[in-house]
Amino acid sequence: MNIQIINGPNLNLLGVREKSIYGSADFESYLAELKANFPDVNISYFQSNVEGEIINKLHEVGFNYDGVVLNAGAYTHTSIAIADAIAAINTPVIEVHISNVYKREEFRHHSMLAASCKGIIAGFGMHSYRLGIESLLLKY
Ligand code: DQA
């Protein structure tokens, strides 16, 4: 089982950025924990602040991986291009957010991506990624 995690803009600053919202762990430390939790899953990680690079990664994994866990950061609320990329590929994409975006500013309440994703997970801190992987492993 191959799962790609993609983090979008500003998520390279996890652990430094707005700690009261996003926590004090950096993603690399959390990733080691995540991999230990899923020893049978091959988890790859990619982060970019550039919209087109996120799209290129979706194209690269979108026909051969088993799932994508995507936190597109602020592009969630703006990017038709990422929504189109998700719709174009075969691999299921789970939209995740560290914070509960529905508790925050109104502009974060709308996702351009959600309608193209298999499901959405928000508000569980870094564990949103873990829940995203769990959801890809469910059989139904
Ligand atoms: C976020 C929520 C977005 O609104 C914000 O722009 C982010 C992070 C989250 O994980 O909670 O960069 O996706």
Does residue 85 lie in a domain region? Answer: yes
The number of distinct structural domains making up the chain is: 1
Confidence of residue 17 (pLDDT cuts 50, 70, 90): confident
Task: Tell me how far the alpha carbon of residue 26 is from its chain's centroid.
Answer: 15
Does residue 23 lie in a domain region? Answer: yes
CATH number at residue 41: 3.40.50.9100
Q: What is the mean pLDDT of residues 81-100?
A: 98
Tell me the pTM. Answer: 0.97
Other CB atoms within 10 Å distance of the CB of residue 12? 17
Percent of the chain past pLDDT 90, that is, above it, reads: 90
In this prediction, the answer to ipTM > 0.90 reads yes
Q: Which residue has the tokens 């995540």?
A: 34
- Kindly give the pairing relationship between strand 119-122 and strand 93-97: parallel
Tens digits of per-residue pLDDT, 92-126? 999 999 999 999 999 999 999 999 999 999 999 99
Does residue 20 lie in a domain region? Answer: yes
Binding site: which residues? 71, 77, 84, 98-99, 108
Does residue 65 lie in a domain region? Answer: no
Q: Is residue 110 flagged as an active site residue?
A: no
Catalytic position from the list 22, 30, 65, 129: 22
